[in-house]
């Protein structure tokens, strides 16, 4: 197996690009893919302040590393979710990364700062854990970005994640979710700009990137993910990809190219139509936003 660029010994093959790379050229390839994504979708410019959501896993730490190498001013944001056997360790990886590189990690802890953890909060609110968790993460991330004066928030969703979410939304024709599934969401009152710079890189590439860069990350997935429908969609897409390399990329980028523009208007109107939460001021369809309601129910159940 020879590197496409230098003909040296390759360490990874990427079938959808029909290419093999040696370590240095693979790392360069990852940087190039991220730089191209940022430029193509006009995600941010060099003087923008970027806040990246870090979970301690390969995607978010890999993304933080890539953005720093590309010369952007990026701080990390970590939320302690209080998930036993997972959260303590994930926080350690995020802190170690920040310390080694002398970069800032902003932290919020659900149990310490809001009085509940994801498993108990979900139970009290009668939501599945990932729904209570996702809702809390979105709310706290928006708040941290606005409070800290960041121009843009970045998440480590990769091509596999986005293709799987798209697959699920298409299976159910969730047009409101489809309308919001783009790698850039513009800023609106109460919402920072949101970007996903890893959409050209797959899960396997992000794992290889971290290993080759010597980035320590949490390998174990969150224990609450079991039964998450997206895992099944990922498996289905992986089986298709084996038969037909490039399918995930064609599926996701074909959607962005051909379908997303038609749905765009709908998403913008929906966001503009939102009022404000009377408690915390966040954008909300009701008088009190769903995060404040979750906090109420979760903390009442404990007291």
**Smaller CB separation from Zn ion, 24 or 168:** 24
State the number of CA atoms in the 13 A half-sphere of 125 facing the CB.
26
- Looking at 129, 197, 202, 283, which residue binds ligand Q46 (CB under 6 A)? 129
CB of 220 to ligand Q46, least distance (A): 11
Find the binder of Zn ion among 14, 22, 51, 133 (CB under 5 A): 22
By CB under 6 A, is residue 91 in contact with ligand Q46? no
Give, for 241, the enclosing helix (H) or strand (E): helix 229-243
Q: Is residue 3 a contact point for Zn ion (CB under 5 A)? A: yes
Q: Three-state SS for 75? A: strand
List binders of ligand Q46 among 259-298 (CB under 6 A).
none
Q: Which is nearer to ligand Q46, 131 or 174 (CB)?
A: 131
CB 191 within 8 A of CB 142: yes
Residue 201 C-beta: closest distance to ligand Q46, Å: 17
Neighbours of 55 (CB within 10 A): 23
Least distance in angstroms from the C-beta of 71 to Zn ion: 23
- Binding string to ligand Q46 for residues 103 to 122, with x set by CB under 6 A, is what? ---------------x----
Q: Which stretch binds Zn ion (CB under 5 A): 71-79, 89-97, 163-171, 279-287?
A: 279-287
Among 1, 6, 225, 239, which residue interacts with Zn ion (rule: CB under 5 A)?
A: 6
Instruction: Kindly list the distances between the CA atom of residue 277 and the CA atoms of 162, 189, 284, 302, in Å, as whole numbers in the listed order.
Output: 29, 13, 5, 24
Distance CA 253, CA 146 (A): 30
Bridge partners of residue 78, in order along the sequence: 107
Residue 294: phi and psi, rounded to 5, are -60, -45
Half-sphere exposure of 62 (CA within 13 A, CB side): 30
79 binds ligand Q46 (CB under 6 A): no
Angle at 138 between CA 134 and CA 143, to 5 degrees: 150
Among positions 245-274, residues that touch Zn ion (CB under 5 A) are none
Q: Residue 51 or 282: which CB sits closer to Zn ion? A: 282
Q: Rounded to whole angstroms, how far apart are CA atoms 218 and 261?
A: 36
d(Cα 41, Cα 21) in Å, to the nearest integer? 26
User: How many chain residues touch ligand Q46 (CB under 6 A)?
Assistant: 9
x-marked contacts with ligand Q46 along 214-253 as a string, rule CB under 6 A: --------x-xx----------------------------
Q: Tell me how far apart the terminal alpha carbons of the chain are, to the nearest angstrom.
A: 62
Q: CA-CA distance, 8 to 18, in Å (whole number)?
A: 16
The residues binding Zn ion (CB under 5 A) are 3, 5-6, 8, 22, 25, 277, 279-280, 282, 289, 292
The residues binding ligand Q46 (CB under 6 A) are 81, 118, 129-130, 133-134, 222, 224-225
């Amino acid at each position: 197996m020879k590197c496409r660029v230098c003909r040296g010994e390759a360490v990874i093959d990427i079938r959808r690009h029909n290419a093999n790379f040696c370590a240095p050229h693979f790392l360069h390839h990852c940087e190039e893919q991220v730089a191209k994504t940022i430029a193509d979708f006009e995600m941010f410019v060099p003087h923008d302040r970027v806040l990246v959501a870090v979970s301690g896993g390969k995607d978010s730490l890999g993304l933080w590393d890539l953005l720093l190498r590309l010369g952007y001013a990026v701080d990390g944001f970590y939320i302690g979710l209080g998930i036993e056997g997972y959260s303590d360790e994930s926080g350690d990886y995020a802190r170690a990364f920040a310390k080694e590189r002398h970069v800032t990690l902003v932290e919020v802890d659900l149990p310490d700062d809001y009085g509940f953890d994801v498993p108990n909060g979900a139970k009290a609110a009668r939501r599945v854990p990932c729904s209570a968790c996702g809702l809390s993460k979105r709310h706290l991330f928006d708040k941290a970005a606005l409070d800290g004066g960041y121009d843009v928030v970045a998440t480590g969703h990769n091509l596999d994640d986005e293709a799987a979410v798209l697959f699920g939304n298409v299976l159910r024709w969730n047009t409101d979710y489809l309308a919001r599934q783009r790698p850039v969401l513009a800023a609106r009152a109460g919402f920072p700009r949101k970007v996903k710079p890893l959409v050209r890189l797959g899960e396997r590439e992000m794992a290889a990137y971290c290993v080759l860069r010597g980035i320590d990350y949490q390998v174990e997935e969150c224990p609450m993910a079991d039964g998450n429908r997206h895992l099944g969609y990922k498996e289905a897409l992986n089986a298709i990809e084996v038969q037909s390399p490039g399918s995930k990329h064609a599926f996701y980028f074909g959607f962005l190219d051909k379908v997303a523009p038609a749905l765009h208007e709908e998403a913008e109107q929906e966001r503009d139509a939102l009022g404000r939460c009377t408690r915390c001021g966040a954008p909300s369809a009701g008088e009190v936003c769903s995060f404040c309601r979750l906090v109420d129910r979760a903390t009442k159940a404990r007291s």
